[in-house]
A and B are shown apart, each in its own frame.
Chain A
């Protein structure tokens, strides 16, 4: 007995000792983040950039091939790429060199792409912001004078009113029509579905100026210039855009919902009005906003429909009107700086308007893919000639898809 107790105590002591030694100490965890581009590679990149820059700097002054900053950059790029390739080839393998080269080229491309946007924004604000004033926003070009004590340089109010009115009317006409067309394509269907889709695609490829001359030939010749004519042209332009966008969004609405609605004995218009459209609401807002943004910025179709006006015309139904885009277009080719300035002002207001609508569309719009990434707004107006890549899936929403998926389900059962 005693030895057993002793043994037990010994065992206990051993166990305790074991336990202590196994007590979790502060284990240092070294997290590994596998990265292709290690800090040493970053160093290589920066060094190559710096050295190509320096080489060129020294040599450039000797060469008179190209001048100016643009020339420098144009030469720097191939020099950097060549040097980068060479360095990587020496340090690593050919495979790595190719890969790095392609990464650089691609990144460069993206940078070149973004550059105009940045420069453009700076340009618009730099030229236009100093000119923005209460006066500029609330007066028209009436009574503009350039000399003497009471220099009145004019303002853009008439253009603002014009743009707002024209776009509003265009939206009221065009958007319901576009949504109805999308409903036809997606929900009602029939023998003409494919043809209508083709026609909408064809229309979306039609240049804006063609819409302008069309409205001229059909409306202005009879009723003369007016803001309303401009609205008609804008409506023709935004119709295919909004139709395609709406069609895309309606397709996404799951067929299960339509089935449930039919089983509840809903008439078709009910299904569309109470189930499909509300489910697609945020997408509808996005494509609507997109259409509006496009309309605000259009210039060409307005030349021959609203014609332009230097004084305020708040009546869109009679008489020529002005719009911000048209005003900018007309002013910047004029000789006197203050006239050009008016163009800058109009351009800035225009830019801000478009930007505001864009931000709204992004805020209220939908378009989260299943991956969680946001869809590009342009994907809403994706003009893919013929059917889109996902058309073939029987999962598509809409009448055809519903029928296909029902058939599939029934056959599976």
Chain B
């Protein structure tokens, strides 16, 4: 190692040691790095191949792909577009979040702040609740869909009728066809139920990270439980809660099977949530797969590309929001 003395200061030149890695270490690091790069490659490939395969669809429809409200990929003059699928996905996601957020927040609060750790001093209540939430998340979407279709739907038709009769003044709730099954409301509710465990779990995590010092400080000032929650837990957890909601949003937008089971596919854009009919990008792909010939398949792949881009964008926005709120909270 070189030790040169710089005359001016009498201090030798500093050396940053970068020792050569052995072969085994280089191999190991190379392997790990390739795994890291691999994830990037996969993401790029997804975008790339979806793009390639959807070229025929875009060539056929151009930008009208995003605005057409019919789906006829076969025949002499094919016309198809995902406009209603886009609005439908959004509608379902909004309904899902409206259903999911209050319940999830309440449940997260309950588990964290109100639930006794042990019922009758031997049943591990909190653990049980946490496990139940986890189990809900693990249940396959097909089963949610089946339950929604066979059990929830019959019960909700009555509610929908009530909505249409009494709140039909708001156009959304008006039912113009008389058919109350296969509606956005039912699909949105089921999707909301599916999103609940994830939002709950994340919120619970965030709530439990509230620093005890702050909590105890406020408690010693005589604050009630509600006040503690409002003034200590919520501000601290804001970013995480938003992150949880965005996660739920992404999940709701991407849910295919449950929606596919419930709705009956229709292509005109509609905002009537209490009547039959509906569309969502994911469900569209699931239901229409296999029909429509090669152009139809290409169209579905194009729809998949659109869905991919949308969820990616939501991810990025969510990152920004959560990080910004974290900086604010500190």
Co-assembled chains A and B: yes
Using a CB–CB distance below 8 Å, which chain A residues touch chain B? 65-71, 74, 95, 98-99, 102-103, 105-110, 112-114, 116-117, 119-120, 123-124, 127, 177, 180-181, 183-185, 187-188, 190, 192-193, 195-196, 198-203, 205-211, 213-214, 216-218, 221, 236, 239-240, 243, 267-269, 272, 290, 293-294, 296-300, 303-304, 325, 328-329, 332-333, 343-344, 347, 350-351, 354-355, 358, 362, 373-374, 376-379, 382-387, 389-390
B39/A181 in contact, CB under 8 A: yes
CB 8 Å contact bits of B136-172 with A (1 = contact, 0 = none): 1111111111110111000110110010001000000
- Does B29 have its Cβ within 8 Å of any Cβ on chain A? yes
- Among listed B68-76, B240-248, B271-279, interface-contacting one: B240-248
Q: Looking at the complex, which one of B102, B134, B146, B315 makes contact with A358 (CB distance below 8 Å)?
A: B134
Q: Which residues of B have CB within 8 Å of A198?
A: 319
Give the 9 A-B residue pairs with the shortest CB-CB distance, closest first.
A109-B106, A207-B254, A297-B140, A269-B28, A385-B319, A180-B35, A378-B201, A213-B304, A110-B110
Name the distance in Å between A389's Cβ and chain B's nearest Cβ: 6
Q: Looking at the complex, which one of A216, A343, A355 makes contact with B135 (CB distance below 8 Å)?
A: A355
- When chains A and B are docked, how far (Å) is the Cα of A190 from the Cα of B137? 34
B246-266, CB < 8 A from A: 246-247, 250, 253-257, 260-261
Q: Which residues of B have CB within 8 Å of A109?
A: 102-107, 109-110
B311/A207 in contact, CB under 8 A: yes
B107/A304 in contact, CB under 8 A: no
Nearest-neighbor residue (CB-CB) of B104 within chain A: A113
Q: Looking at the complex, which one of A68, A299, A374 makes contact with B127 (CB distance below 8 Å)?
A: A374
A354/B140 in contact, CB under 8 A: yes
Q: Looking at the complex, which one of A74, A123, A210 makes contact with B151 (CB distance below 8 Å)?
A: A123
Q: Looking at the complex, which one of B40, B106, B117, B140 makes contact with A298 (CB distance below 8 Å)?
A: B140
- Does B67 have its Cβ within 8 Å of any Cβ on chain A? no
Nearest-neighbor residue (CB-CB) of B226 within chain A: A102
- Does B219 have its Cβ within 8 Å of any Cβ on chain A? no
Q: Looking at the complex, which one of B38, B117, B224, B316 makes contact with A177 (CB distance below 8 Å)?
A: B38
Using a CB–CB distance below 8 Å, which chain B residues touch chain A? 22, 24-25, 27-29, 31-33, 35-40, 42-43, 45-46, 49-50, 52-53, 102-107, 109-111, 113-115, 117, 126-127, 129-147, 149-151, 155-156, 158-159, 162, 166, 193, 196-198, 200-202, 204-206, 209, 224-226, 229, 240, 243, 246-247, 250, 253-257, 260-261, 282, 285-286, 289, 300-301, 304, 307-308, 311-312, 314-316, 318-319, 321-323, 326
- 20 A-B pairs with C-beta separation under 8 A: A106-B114, A107-B114, A109-B105, A113-B107, A124-B146, A127-B150, A188-B32, A205-B311, A206-B311, A206-B312, A208-B254, A209-B286, A210-B46, A217-B52, A217-B301, A218-B49, A267-B24, A376-B201, A389-B209, A389-B240
- When chains A and B are docked, how far (Å) is the Cα of A325 from the Cα of B141? 9
A202/B22 in contact, CB under 8 A: no
Q: Which residues of A have CB within 8 Å of B147?
A: 116, 119-120, 123-124
B42/A70 in contact, CB under 8 A: no
Name the distance in Å between B121's Cβ and chain A's nearest Cβ: 11
A325/B142 in contact, CB under 8 A: yes
Q: Which residues of A have CB within 8 Å of B311?
A: 205-207, 210
- When chains A and B are docked, how far (Å) is the Cα of A333 from the Cα of B264? 11
Q: Which residues of B have CB within 8 Å of A344?
A: 146
- When chains A and B are docked, how far (Å) is the Cα of A269 from the Cα of B29? 8
B304/A117 in contact, CB under 8 A: no
Q: Looking at the complex, which one of B50, B141, B202 makes contact with A217 (CB distance below 8 Å)?
A: B50
Name the distance in Å between B57's Cβ and chain A's nearest Cβ: 12
Q: Which residues of A have CB within 8 Å of B136?
A: 113, 116-117
Q: Which residues of B have CB within 8 Å of A383?
A: 202, 247
Q: Which residues of A have CB within 8 Å of B255?
A: 207
A385/B110 in contact, CB under 8 A: no
- When chains A and B are docked, how far (Å) is the Cα of A160 from the Cα of B157? 35
B106/A205 in contact, CB under 8 A: no
Q: Looking at the complex, which one of B43, B135, B141, B201 makes contact with A202 (CB distance below 8 Å)?
A: B43
Contact (A185, B143) CB under 8 Å given A110-B111, A209-B304 = no
Name the distance in Å between A355's Cβ and chain B's nearest Cβ: 7
Residue of B25, B39, B45, B243 with most chain A CB atoms under a 10 A cut-off:
B39
Q: Which residues of A have CB within 8 Å of B209?
A: 389-390
Name the distance in Å between A122's Cβ and chain B's nearest Cβ: 9
Q: Which residues of A have CB within 8 Å of B45?
A: 214, 218
B142/A385 in contact, CB under 8 A: no
B159/A300 in contact, CB under 8 A: no
Name the distance in Å between A392's Cβ and chain B's nearest Cβ: 9
Nearest-neighbor residue (CB-CB) of B201 within chain A: A378
- When chains A and B are docked, how far (Å) is the Cα of A299 from the Cα of B287? 12
Nearest-neighbor residue (CB-CB) of A344 within chain B: B146
- When chains A and B are docked, how far (Å) is the Cα of A195 from the Cα of B37? 10
Name the distance in Å between B184's Cβ and chain A's nearest Cβ: 18
Given A102-B226, A217-B53, 5 extra CB contacts under 8 A: A69-B155, A205-B247, A210-B307, A221-B53, A378-B197
Nearest-neighbor residue (CB-CB) of A74 within chain B: B159
A384/B322 in contact, CB under 8 A: yes
- When chains A and B are docked, how far (Å) is the Cα of A188 from the Cα of B30? 9
- When chains A and B are docked, how far (Å) is the Cα of A146 from the Cα of B201? 46
Contact (A206, B254) CB under 8 Å given A120-B139, A269-B24 = yes
Q: Which residues of A have CB within 8 Å of B155?
A: 68-70
B43/A199 in contact, CB under 8 A: yes
- When chains A and B are docked, how far (Å) is the Cα of A67 from the Cα of B256? 31
Name the distance in Å between A110's Cβ and chain B's nearest Cβ: 4
Q: Which residues of B have CB within 8 Å of A66?
A: 158-159, 162
Name the distance in Å between B150's Cβ and chain A's nearest Cβ: 7
B140/A110 in contact, CB under 8 A: no
Q: Looking at the complex, which one of A95, A120, A184 makes contact with B143 (CB distance below 8 Å)?
A: A120
Q: Which residues of A have CB within 8 Å of B138?
A: 290, 293-294, 297, 354, 358, 377
Q: Which residues of B have CB within 8 Å of A269?
A: 24-25, 27-28
Nearest-neighbor residue (CB-CB) of A124 within chain B: B143
B323/A185 in contact, CB under 8 A: no
